[in-house]
Each structure stands twice: as C-alpha cells, then as structure tokens.
Amino acid sequence: MFKSTIWVCGLAMALVACTPDKAGRILAPQEYGLTCVSASICLEDVAQKQKAERLYADAARTVQGQFVPFKNRPRVLFCSTKSCSAQFGDDHSQALTLGTYGILIREDGWHGYTLRHEMIHHIQNEQFGVRQASYQLPKWYIEGMGYALSGDPRDPLPTAELQEYRKRYKAWEAAGNQWNKPPK
C-alpha cells in the first residue's frame, strides 16, 4: 500500500512538472495557435498584424523614451479571442507580463496604454530584477508607476485599489522621487 501511494504521488508530480507554464507558453506560442510574424510579435489572428505592429512600435518608442532602452525587446503575444487568452490562465486583466519572458495582450487589451503599462513592467523587471519587482518592491510603486506613466485614460481605474496605487505613485513622484530609485 505504501509503495503504491509513493508511486502515485511520484507520477502526479511528474505530470505537473511536465505541464507547460505561462512562461513556457510565451516561449513557444506556435504550440498554442499563435503565429510569430517577428521575434517580438506573435498573433492569434494574422489579419491584425499591422495593428499589432503599430501598437508595439508606438508603445516601445514611448516607454523607452520615458525610461531606458530595453535590454531585450519583449515578445508580445496578441490574443484576439477569449479562448486564446484562457490558455494563459483565467485572469481578468487585459494583459500580463511574465518576468522578462514576454507580454500577453488579451482580446480586450489592444490599447496603447495597456501595452505601455506592460512594457513598463518589463523595464522594471529588467532594471530591478524579477524577484525584487514582483515580491520586494511595494505594489503601489510597481502598479502605480504602470498606471501613472502609461497614459491610461481611465478615471477611475477598474478598482479602488488600483486608483489608490496610481494616486500614491503620482504623489511620490511629485515629491521629487525618480522612477529608477524605488522606495525602500
């Protein structure tokens, strides 16, 4: 009985270990129905290529002009349907950034401000390291910077918490602080 339990647990752990994670999906988007039209842009619907290229070019130019050049240009996956987005997790956000692996733009996130927001997170991950940006720096600073500096026109933002993050970041910046010197 004990040996069979260990065997079943071992098999279950092996199956979980072999399941592709979100980062793996960004690294191999063709396996999930996307077509890469360049090293930086992969699309579910290639008919949207020009729109995606324009969004990417505008966002990259703006963000790099505001901050620093990318160390590595982020790969952006553009989903056009809910089923495409669902492959990357059941998240209710318009987009997500996975470390320095890349960015997912969901079907409802095809906005310049959304891509700029995610590219800001990409810069944060490159400049501060993924661990620090994700777990050590205050969330108001990380998300507040994204909302404050992306030109997101929504007012209010989708939640009161996000609205507060943006307000707090703006106040922090107005006090003379610089984005590249995060709060302690």
DSSP 179: T
Q: Output the six-digit token pair for 101.
A: 């692996």
Distance (Å, whole) CA 85 – CA 108: 10
Report in angstroms the alpha-carbon separations of 34 from 44, 67, 92, 144: 4, 30, 21, 31
pLDDT digits (tens, 9 = 90+) for 66-98: 999 999 999 999 999 999 999 888 778 999 999
Q: What pLDDT score does 11 carry?
A: 35
Q: What pLDDT score does 106 carry?
A: 96
Q: What pLDDT score does 48 carry?
A: 98
Alpha helix stretches (DSSP H) within 29-137 = 49-66, 82-86, 112-128, 130-131
Q: What pLDDT score does 9 carry?
A: 38
Full strand arrangement of the beta sheet holding 102-105: 35-36, 41-43, 75-78, 102-105, 95-98
The model's pTM is: 0.87
Distance (Å, whole) CA 173 – CA 150: 14
pLDDT digits (tens, 9 = 90+) for 93-151: 999 999 999 999 999 999 999 999 999 999 999 999 999 999 999 999 999 999 999 99
pLDDT digits (tens, 9 = 90+) for 17-60: 334 456 667 788 999 899 999 999 999 999 999 999 999 999 99
Is the pLDDT at 174 greater than 70? The verdict is yes
